[in-house]
Amino acid sequence: MATSPPRAPKIPHARTEHGETVVDDWFYLRDRTHPETIPYLEAENRYTAECMQPFADLEATLYEEMKARIQETDVSAPYRMGEYEYYTRTETGKQYPIFCRRDLFAGLDAEETVLDCNALAEGHEYFSLAFQFVSPYGNLLAYAVDTDGSEVYTLRFRDLRSGELLPGEINGVYYGAAWANDSRTFFYTTLDETKRPHKLWRCTAGSMDAPVEVFEEPDARFNVEIDRTRSSRYLALLLSSHTTTEIRLLDADNPEGEFQLLLQRRQDVEYFVEHQGDWLYVRTNDRGKNFRLLRAQAGNPLAELWEEVLPHRDDTTLESVEGFRNHLVVLERHDGLRRFRAQDTLTGAEHFIAFDEPAYTIEPDVNAEYDTPLFRFSYSSLATPRSIFDYNLDTRARELKKRQPVLGGYDPENYVCERIFALSHDDVRVPVSLVYRRDAPPGPKPTYLYGYGSYGIVTEPSFSSERVSLLDRGFVFALAHIRGSADMGRNWYEEGKLGRKKNTFLDFIAAAECLVDSGHTLPDRLAIAGGSAGGLLMGAVTNMRPDLFRAVVAHVPFVDVVNTMLDETLPLTVTEYEEWGNPNEPEAYRYIRSYAPYENVQDGAFPNILVTAGLNDPRVPFWEPAKWVAKLREANSGKACILLKTNMGAGHGGPSGRYEKLKEKAFEYAFVLGRYV
């Protein structure tokens, strides 16, 4: 038997906002140097380990099953860039990928190691690679690593001809980075004190000269990003908030020149640019939420000369544009599913790339070559493993280049995928994607329902080999395509943000009720899961309908919404106002206050709850899940088990190695399988 659950001491802290005084008994947990904080997290970890000890064999079995399905030594589908063919290898027993290349003119045995992440990770509990970019000439490598989960990276350069590191390293780098065409000049972004990428810098690889500040964004709502167009013609500086963008372009042959503004930012108008041939293609929502496509002459991109290529459509969202020398590929979403619209820019002829399954996900894969008719994309569904195809835009022939191996006799034909619709509180139909074994017995089954529903991030019906461990034990796996996502278009997203955020929670509850009413499951056989903003979803629906679920898994949950959004010194807070609202404004404060999970915990019986956190998490600070668990445990009048597991050396994404990630998933599934469903 496990010992009694830990109880974090109460140290009242009063906050008065808009005439309301709130006492937060666990406010002090946000201070990791407080004498009670780390001991409390460690006590919770010990308690979690004790509670899960009876299921250690199940957890070990799940881990071995999951590991046995992956081809541990494997090679990705190679892609061409310049005079080389690039690919990624994994080796049995090694946690991280090895990036490799082969000279196309030197034979199959001429493998070069571009970057071995295992060597870089040696001696570190955590390892993350922000990027690894080979220079246009193929002679230099820029890469950035993080070894504590803070998402603050260190940039290094390597000479790929000699294998030697170049002098100097640059600290505080973020994800955005790009080479200029001279293969010497490199652009990168850095963070301010709130972890916002706010500056763009230029440096010379291997030079000890001080980097040059190129641009600083003063508006705290906006992030700074840098990228290269596929044509290599331009470097694109993107300045973006959650609702507004601005782009400046620089000739990639002239890295010391000035970035030229394409179109002045306008509040609540987003636009994105791709170069193709003589044109700049601009995707914008200036006349409709679902975006339209315009084009401008690359040499004279005056806005008044722009031409419309695809109009705005109420039933179709234009998600991205890929440019090739003689082709354009537009990624659209229609009726909740993606499709590729391919256009020959010489003749104007168009066609769609067709797919057969009722629910699937597609996305462009690595398309490093510009002067080619081949378009590479990935395809998967809830039953079909991730598959890489090369599609010839001229002949319309497709070639399977690589399918994710799933060892142990996995056969997609043994599983059924379907999509049902739940009716939400306002009579809106909410899609729910399902997968289960074809030979599953009739009647209610244990069910695992996942949701996210924020930032317009789409919950794609994609494949997971780990999930087979649930399916083969008789589970239904379900995805709720709720508002707040963009699963059904841009308007779907906007109907689940700001003052309409509760639609997200009510849609998820409707999805759960639909699974029960349709006979797929019962409340005492239903487990739900979500992470980050999906963890907020878990907290909100648990407060609203604790009777509807048997088990809840909340990974790094954003549950202390009011306190976090009131603190402008924290990472992401100001940039998030356009997603959640600004609680410094009375109306926004009252609305957020009405659903925020931490503030709305009430005394009563809860489902069984597993909560995870990362001590170094810069996105959802560790104290949010820690405070929430302390409050849940204080309020719980039932017999449910409430567990907190904090990764003491990781960040938002949890453990970094592939085997460690499998262990985390096995732990989660053991929680769901072994005791609660």
530 is written with which tokens?
């979500």
Per-residue HEC secondary structure of 220-287 comes to: CCCEEEEEECCCCCEEEEEEECCCCEEEEEEECCCCCCCCEEEECCCCCCCEEEEEECCEEEEEECCC
Q: Are 396 and 344 in contact (CB under 8 A)?
A: no
Residue in this structure with the two tokens 């700074």, named with its chain if needed: 224
Tell me which residue of 311, 306, 668, 646 sits closest to 470, measured CA to CA.
668
Distance CA 162, CA 206 (A): 13
Distance CA 397, CA 399 (A): 7
Query: Which stretch of DSSP H or E encloses residue 611?
Result: strand 608-614
Number of residues that make up the chain: 677
Q: Is 13 a catalytic residue?
A: no
Tell me which residue of 345, 238, 249 sits closest to 293, measured CA to CA.
345
DSSP 674: I
From residue 485, give the alpha-carbon distance in Å to each of 266, 289, 533, 539, 669.
24, 14, 11, 18, 25
From residue 449, give the alpha-carbon distance in Å to each of 414, 508, 526, 648.
20, 9, 7, 28
Q: Is 532 a catalytic residue?
A: yes
* HSE-CB of 404 using CA atoms within 13 angstroms: 20
Among left, alpha and beta (phi > 0; psi -120 to 50; other), residue 265 is beta
Q: What is the arrangement of strands in the sheet containing 429-437, beginning at the earlier edge strand? A: 415-423, 429-437, 476-480, 447-450, 526-531, 551-555, 608-614, 642-647
Q: Where are the beta strands (DSSP E) in 277-349?
A: 279-284, 292-297, 307-310, 316-323, 327-334, 337-344
Q: Hey, what amino acid is at 659?
A: Y
Q: Residue 210: is it exposed, middle or buried by C-beta count within 10 angstroms (0-12/13-18/19+)?
A: exposed
Q: Are 49 and 388 in contact (CB under 8 A)?
A: no
Tell me which residue of 470, 460, 389, 462 sits closest to 674, measured CA to CA.
470
Compute the CA torsion angle 75, 80, 83, 88 (nearest 10 deg): -20
Question: Per the residue annotation, which of 24, 146, 507, 617 is the catalytic one?
Answer: 617
Distance CA 179, CA 549 (A): 50
Query: Which stretch of DSSP H or E encloses residue 145?
Result: strand 140-146
Tell me which residue of 492, 364, 512 sits closest to 448, measured CA to CA.
512
Q: How far is CA 463 from the centre of its chain?
A: 15
Residue in this structure with the two tokens 């039953």, named with its chain if needed: 383
Distance CA 168, CA 317 (A): 45
Q: Is 652 a catalytic residue?
A: yes
Q: Are 161 and 143 in contact (CB under 8 A)?
A: no
Q: Are 271 and 261 in contact (CB under 8 A)?
A: no
Question: Per the residue annotation, which of 532, 555, 560, 656 is the catalytic one?
Answer: 532
In terms of DSSP bridges, do strands 260-263 and 415-423 run parallel, antiparallel, or are they unpaired? unpaired
Mind telling me the catalytic residues?
532, 617, 652
